[in-house]
Amino acid sequence: MAQKTLLKGRVLSFNGSPFEAEPTDATEVHEAVLIEDGRIAAMGLASNLSDTHPDAGVRDYGDHLIMAGFIDPHVHYPQTAMIASWGKRLIDWLNSYTFPEEMKFGDPDYAAEIANRYLQLTTSHGTTTMCSFCTIHPESVDAFFAAAQLRGQRVVAGKTCMDRNAPEGLRDTAQTGYDQSKALLEKWHGVDRISYAITPRFSPTSTPEQLEAMGALWAEHPDCLMQTHLSEQTDEIEWVRSLFPQARDYLDTYEQFGLLGGNGLYGHAIHLETRERDRLREVDAGLIHCPTSNTFIGSGLFDMNGLIREGHRVGLATDTGGGSSFSMLRTMAAAYEIGQLRGHPLHPSQLLWLGTVGSARALRMDDRIGNITVGMEADLVVLDLASTPAIAQREAHSDDLWEAVFPTIMMGDDRAIADVWIGGQRVSD
């Protein structure tokens, strides 16, 4: 017999993009959602669904907002323990904090400890899917996928490949990077809810030979995602120019080696040149906005309005631990603030869409996750829109749903997460 659960509350779903029309016209609010065998089976009036499915278990969330679980398309789970490290820009930050921590992940026990800690922390913040860089160690990939598999989560990750400009012990080679990535891909890709991403960290830490090897692997497995970094900081861009003097621009250091495509995920993408914007749009690549990271490390202000208007595919991510929070709510708040600084504040529906549907689109998974529509996998978050006294007193004076939601976006944290469902199963406290 099918397992059915009826969730009552304010159920938010998207019927389009809030960037393409009036933001509120892209949303619908229902009274209940029916989960059956791990998928969304129906939405609508609570009384109708109760009458037609009397065998369903019922959980009533009152005025809480039920929506798709948050999707974080650019993270570094190995940086969990060193999040919020002080005072450096990107290259110094990597050398001072990131690389020493990543050295530890050759130990399978330590990798498993951090993988489980990371997934516990992110679940407590309502994130149900993420795309993570691991370390150069295959053990780090196995640990992350094994932990996610036990939880039934849909995740993406890959072995980070680096064969230069990194410490001894954190470098592979073009050949070992290819061989280990291929073995991990063949072991994990498509198992349960797991997907593999080919993962050159960024062009400064890969020789042309390694970038060519990663491009060859992607050509052999074009259904896989490929994730990397692009144009995060101006001094990084100058470094890239010195390492690749023949390249037309930063993007060309990927493009010439077969690492530009529609299944590509390009983190940050702040300081893009006109040619880069045009090429990324032509191939319909995914650009990942990481606002808390961009402000914390002093990288710059992402051009959300301009890139969306040009037709780019954009996701929203924490970039932990360069980002200073595991919370997608805090990430939405930072995206709003950056939008204000650029003269284009984002509507609450646009922020929620970016953290769900938009990020799912970037991952090419919007046919499975990121929205509450019939047939989608039932990964859900339940938001308490009055989770703290400060938020509650503001929410009490709201005139509509969006006024009620916005204080939680701007001031909410893990206390706002009333419940989380992954694959149709409620996650226990």
User: What tens digit of pLDDT does each residue of 284-309 get?
Assistant: 999 999 999 999 889 999 999 999 99
356 with 309, same domain: the answer is: yes
Global confidence as pTM: 0.97
Alpha-carbon gap, residue 33 to 8, rounded angstroms: 7
381 with 352, same domain: the answer is: no
Q: Hey, what are 10's tokens?
A: 């304010």
80 with 20, same domain: the answer is: no
63 with 19, same domain: the answer is: yes
16 with 134, same domain: the answer is: no
Phi, psi of 229 (to 5 degrees): -115, 150
Low-confidence ranges of the chain (pLDDT < 70): 1, 87-88, 428-429
Pair 196, 158: CB distance under 8 Å: yes
Instruction: List the CATH number of the domain containing 126.
Output: 3.20.20.140
168 with 310, same domain: the answer is: yes
Domain count, the chain: 2
pLDDT at residue 1 in the model = 56
Antiparallel, parallel or unpaired: β 57-68 and 70-76 = unpaired
- Tell me 22's DSSP state: -
63 with 91, same domain: the answer is: no
104 with 238, same domain: the answer is: yes
Instruction: List the CATH number of the domain containing 415.
Output: 2.30.40.10
Among residues 319, 338, 362, which one ends one of the domains?
A: 362
pLDDT in tens, 226-274: 999 999 999 999 999 999 999 999 999 999 999 999 999 999 999 999 9
What is the Cβ-side half-sphere exposure of residue 234, based on CA atoms within 13 angstroms? 3
Pair 228, 185: CB distance under 8 Å: no
- Which secondary-structure segment (H or E) carries 329? helix 328-341
Question: What average pLDDT does the structure give for the chain?
Answer: 96
218 with 324, same domain: the answer is: yes
Among residues 362, 389, 410, which one ends one of the domains?
A: 362
Domain that residue 20 falls in: 4-69+370-426
40 with 137, same domain: the answer is: no
Among residues 345, 362, 379, which one ends one of the domains?
A: 362
